[in-house]
Chain A
């Protein structure tokens, strides 16, 4: 079969089609059986959790969201609820939705490759792994009062008092944040000129804005853990 492609003229199009029945359907059927058997076996041997009747006067400690949201709950350690619980997931969803419109690299469409899309794969895999690392910490390493416990430590209510935290001065915070985003937006454009040119200014700004926010989230965590910084920017209205 021949397919006309713009600019490149005629190219050979390899017709590797096979009949869906039975090639694909058989595999789907087997997958369905394996999943069913696996789920039923697991359900036979492992009981779903059920605690005591709910009691609004008796708070669980720690009270944990379902595991897939524990990354966000873990982010609550480092950020105020409006960011960790609302804006951050909002940005993540928006960023995911934007991916196909931001990534205009024509290569790597429909096959596995790292070489041809290093930036995209690295960024996504980092975010994906980071999400699950936070979930792991929130699930396994957080005990009563959301205190940190290593896997080999026993959860107790007797843990050292956390060190006092301080805010950065407002002016320093604003300067740091401004420099971070300004440098993050301009430097890559200057150093990797072709990266900027290929994306164009709108795609580039959105891509880097999202990437910087992801990196910034990590940096804020480091600030908190290493320097006991509570807020980078602290105002009466909003704290970051």
Chain B
């Protein structure tokens, strides 16, 4: 019986198949290279990498995992947005619904929450690894700077998400966090030298963050918009720069 191999050949030789898959899968060096180069997602990688850079004992895989968790958070986050409205009269009830009513809602919310914690941890381990391997040294200085900004953005992403359930935990955590802004030198109304700029509770930097003098509806909306749109867009843009620069600065770092 040659029916199946024939059929297989017929399919893979067809115009439709070839319009999608540009090359074969036979194990040749050319196909291995094409597998990366001709794939829009995989061509983030070079076709060949230095072998030590593929070792988990060198990279700990933490940068890649951080990026992956970011994607994981994007997907679970989008799904959560179907069920959650950032309105002070609804937000908490929506979360309770997610926990008790929505099919798999509890699972969805849990995985988004734990993913956020995981991302904070993996990104800081990634920074630790990059420091220990001296990978910020020339020519990669600037990419370290981009990385530090991404670290801060990761904190801010997680922080803005903290308020959204509108429960006691988030409310008071954000209270503690944003009360710091009150004390900003020059720009917070309780900070040193704030009288110079005439800062009051209703015009200082905390007011700008919260959209009010207390954590109320505008603060919830701001946290939501920053969390779901503002910071992810900035972070995604900087990630592009970060990965691009890894390539442009000579690929993964290694002994010269």
Residues of A that sit less than 8 Å from B by CB: 16-25, 27-28, 31-32, 35-36, 39-40, 42-44, 46-56, 58-60, 63-69, 72-73, 80-82, 84-87, 93, 96-97, 99-101, 103, 105-113, 117, 120-121, 124, 128, 237-238
Report yes or no: A65 in contact with B49, Cβ–Cβ below 8 A.
no
B5 in contact (CB, < 8 A):
no
Cα-based distance from A100 to B188 in the complex (angstroms):
32
Chain A residues lying within 8 Å of B176, measured Cβ to Cβ, are 63-65, 73
Report yes or no: B183 in contact with A48, Cβ–Cβ below 8 A.
no
Cα-based distance from A128 to B127 in the complex (angstroms):
10
Give the nearest-CB partner of B134 in chain A.
A108
Residues of B that sit less than 8 Å from A by CB: 29, 32-33, 35-36, 42, 45-54, 56, 61, 64-65, 68-69, 72, 92, 95-96, 99, 106-107, 109-115, 117-118, 120, 128, 131-138, 140-142, 144-145, 148-149, 151-152, 155, 158-159, 162, 165-173, 175-177, 179-185, 188, 190-193, 214-215, 253-256
The 3 closest A-B pairs by CB, nearest first: A85-B180, A81-B183, A54-B171
Q: Which of B165, B168, B177 contacts A55 (CB 8 A)?
A: B168
Give the nearest-CB partner of A72 in chain B.
B180
Q: How many A-B residue pairs have CB under 8 A?
A: 230
Report yes or no: B192 in contact with A237, Cβ–Cβ below 8 A.
yes
Report yes or no: A27 in contact with B54, Cβ–Cβ below 8 A.
yes
Q: Which of A17, A52, A86 contacts B50 (CB 8 A)?
A: A17
Report yes or no: A43 in contact with B111, Cβ–Cβ below 8 A.
yes
Q: Which of A18, A31, A60, A63 contacts B51 (CB 8 A)?
A: A18
Report yes or no: A20 in contact with B36, Cβ–Cβ below 8 A.
yes
Report yes or no: B166 in contact with A109, Cβ–Cβ below 8 A.
no
Q: Which of A54, A63, A93, A109 contacts B148 (CB 8 A)?
A: A93
Q: Which of A59, A65, A99 contacts B177 (CB 8 A)?
A: A65
Chain A residues lying within 8 Å of B112, measured Cβ to Cβ, are 48
Chain B residues lying within 8 Å of A18, measured Cβ to Cβ, are 48-51, 54
* A-B pairs with beta carbons under 8 Å apart, 8 shown: A25-B45, A85-B181, A110-B253, A110-B255, A110-B256, A111-B134, A111-B255, A120-B134
Give the nearest-CB partner of B66 in chain A.
A35
